[in-house]
Amino acid sequence: MALHRDIFWVGRQWAVTGAGIQAVDQRLRGVLDIEIARLWDEDLVQSRRAKPGVNAADFDKALTVARERFPQTPDPIVAQLAALGVVETPVESPVLPAMQLRVEGRLARFLPQWRVRR
């Protein structure tokens, strides 16, 4: 993916843009890029830093500049729920039985057809 048009900092290997942290080398096609929403995800940051060929000093400087430029802001709805003491529970979707089609041994042209009646 090409660099975003808003470029705030450029290092040797990384750039801080309006899309987040992007690799300057465009042959990578955006594989190592980090979006603004995921700048604070430590697991993602550590996985990118551990990749072979990554200049760690340049990456750390880009991460610092990006986190200063795009501070972590809590979602206002989540902040209100936390203030009220409401705990979110994950919604479990009901398990639907798998559809079973059984037409073994019957020719398709002899199966009953359905039509929408008006």
Is residue 108 one of the residues assigned to a domain? Answer: no
User: Does residue 79 form part of some domain?
Assistant: no
Please tell me the predicted confidence (pLDDT) of residue 3: 78
Average pLDDT over residues 98-104: 68
Report whether pLDDT(61) > 70.
yes
pLDDT band at 2 (very low <50, low <70, confident <90, very high): confident
Tokens of 12: 């040797």
Confidence band of 28 (pLDDT split at 50, 70, 90): confident
Q: Name the band, by pLDDT with cuts 50, 70 and 90, for residue 89.
A: low
Number of domains in the chain: 1
Residue 30, in any domain of the structure: yes
Between 114 and 63, the higher pLDDT residue? 63
Distance CA 3, CA 78 (A): 32
> How far apart are the C-alpha atoms of 18 and 8, rounded to whole Å?
8
d(CA 48, CA 23): 11
Higher pLDDT, 31 or 108: 31
- Find the domain containing 31 and state its range: 7-69
pLDDT greater than 90 at residue 64? yes
In a domain, 41, yes or no: yes
pTM for the model stands at: 0.60
In a domain, 77, yes or no: no
User: What would the mean pLDDT of 42-69 be, rounded to a whole number?
Assistant: 90
Does the pLDDT value for residue 18 go beyond 90? no
With 0-12 / 13-18 / 19 or more C-beta atoms within 10 angstroms meaning exposed / middle / buried, residue 89 is exposed
